[in-house]
């Protein structure tokens, strides 16, 4: 729910983060614009989500290039998923929200059936490729494993 604040000689504008990245290495950024800041929603994330996780999977910790990144936050209410956000990097041309996996979990208890359903739905959210860093199969499997680990 963040937005990007852009500045140029013509003024300032804000772009919702979810629409800022338009394709691989392409952004909603004019040639004369600079990123001035990232604007986060006012609510404190720690009070909004009772469970949070971030994982970067790479060849080594010192290297900046990821094979896969996983970030998630969930608000649980009596062991039911009241709200959830799941985002992944290096599994599509841009960073993606796993909206199908989120929808598979929302309102459900965190049991084996819900976790399996979310893992299956994750395949509709991401489109990994084979490249020098990793294979598509590896990325898909690890993304599912990280989702399952977060939910368990």
Q: Which two tokens stand for residue 97?
A: 């929200």
**The two structure tokens encoding residue 72:** 């998630």
Which residues, given as ranges, of the chain have pLDDT below 70?
43-47, 61-63
pLDDT at 47: 59
Return the structure tokens found at 124.
Answer: 């509709």
Q: What share of the chain is helix, strand, coil (3-state, %, to 5)?
A: 30, 35, 35
Q: 55: Cβ–Cβ under 8 A, 6 or more apart, which residues?
A: 69, 70, 71, 146
pLDDT tens column, 24-64 = 889 999 999 999 999 988 765 555 778 899 999 987 766 67
Q: What is the pLDDT of residue 93?
A: 87
130 vs 52: CA distance, rounded Å: 29
Q: What torsion, rounded to 10 degrees, do the Cα atoms 56, 151, 72, 136 define?
A: 50
Residue 32: per-residue pLDDT: 96
pLDDT score at 105: 97
The confidence score (pLDDT) of residue 132 equals 84
Report pTM.
0.83
């Amino acid at each position: 729910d963040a937005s990007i604040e852009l500045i140029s000689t013509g003024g300032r504008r804000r772009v919702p983060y979810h629409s800022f990245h338009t394709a691989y290495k392409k952004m909603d950024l004019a040639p004369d614009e600079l990123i001035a800041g990232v604007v986060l929603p006012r609510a404190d994330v720690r009070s909004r989500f009772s469970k949070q996780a971030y994982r970067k999977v790479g060849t080594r910790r010192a290297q900046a290039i990821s094979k896969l990144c996983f970030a998630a936050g969930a608000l649980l209410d009596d062991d039911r998923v009241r709200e959830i956000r799941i985002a992944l990097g290096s599994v599509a041309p841009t960073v993606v929200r796993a909206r199908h996996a989120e929808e598979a979990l929302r309102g459900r208890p965190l049991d084996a059936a819900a976790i399996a359903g979310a893992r299956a739905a994750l395949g509709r959210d991401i489109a990994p490729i084979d490249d020098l860093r990793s294979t598509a199969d590896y990325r898909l499997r690890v993304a599912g494993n990280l989702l399952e680990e977060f939910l368990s």
